[in-house]
Amino acid sequence: MILGERIRLRRLEREDLPRCAAWLNDPQVRGHLALLYPMSLALEEQWFQQQLAAEPAAQPFAIDARAESVVSDSVDPAWTPVGVCGFHAVDWPHRLAELGLFIGHGDFRGAGYGTDVVRTLVRWAFRTLNLNRVQLRVFEDNAPAIRCYEKCGFRLEGRQRQSRFQDGRYLDTLMMAVLRDEWNG
Ligand SMILES: CC(C)(COP(=O)(O)OP(=O)(O)OC[C@H]1O[C@@H](n2cnc3c(N)ncnc32)[C@H](O)[C@@H]1OP(=O)(O)O)[C@@H](O)C(=O)NCCC(=O)NCCS
């Protein structure tokens, strides 16, 4: 497992899939991802099967969080599964990877867990995988995500104008990245 401050990243298991499909059907999650259509368990299982064939560095992680700061009847005080993260692709010749994540458990959004996950993944990318650059894409209306990435050292590099059509309007996609020699984690 890869340990952060209040999170741990472990391999996603088949047993996680029903929970993941439910999260991906939550408008507060799916609205920020490049997902247009409702998710089914069958589609999620098909995606999971494809991930098993990916190279190890590009396989997804389940995010477990320690819940001490979250007060909710629905939360186990020990490790609680809260989301999924990982690198969509790793480009070894150029030593870069694209990061993605979601905190699906609503009680855990806006409490610093996403920042913990991004810091942990970036540290793993630079210190273990020996990558030089981590990049990501985020829609312009996702202020918490943009703030989270800025806190982790990501800089805005570009903007794909009107690249996303959502709720009857076009949104820009922001391109952000952090380089190893400017990262102070
Ligand atoms: C985006 C996401 C991963 C961030 O994780 P998180 O745990 O919620 O974020 P954190 O609590 O670590 O940090 C959020 C920051 O945004 C700030 N923020 C929240 N709402 C904000 C707003 N409307 N405007 C500006 N900043 C805002 C918070 O105050 C916090 O910053 P701070 O620590 O300086 O106060 C999570 O909210 C999520 O999964 N959302 C749904 C799916 C998604 O958007 N995935 C990313 C797609 S690119």
Nearest CA to ligand 1 atom 26: 144
User: Is residue 71 pLDDT above 80, yes or no?
Assistant: no
Please give the average per-residue pLDDT across 19-47, as a whole number: 95
Strands 133-139 and 96-103: parallel
Q: How many residues does the chain have?
A: 185
Does the Cβ of 29 fall within 6 Å of ligand 1? yes
- In this structure, are residues 81 and 62 in contact, taking their beta carbons and an 8 Å threshold? yes
Residue range 124-134: average pLDDT?
A: 98
Residues 48-63 have pLDDT tens digits of: 999 999 999 999 999 9
pLDDT at 75 over 90: no
pLDDT of residue 76: 62
CB of 136 closer than 8 Å to CB of 98: yes
State the closest ligand 1 atom to the C-alpha of 144, by its place in the atom list counted from 1: 16
Determine the pLDDT at residue 66.
92
The DSSP bridge pattern shows strands 79-91 and 7-11 to be unpaired
94-121 tens-digit pLDDT: 999 999 999 999 999 999 999 999 999 9
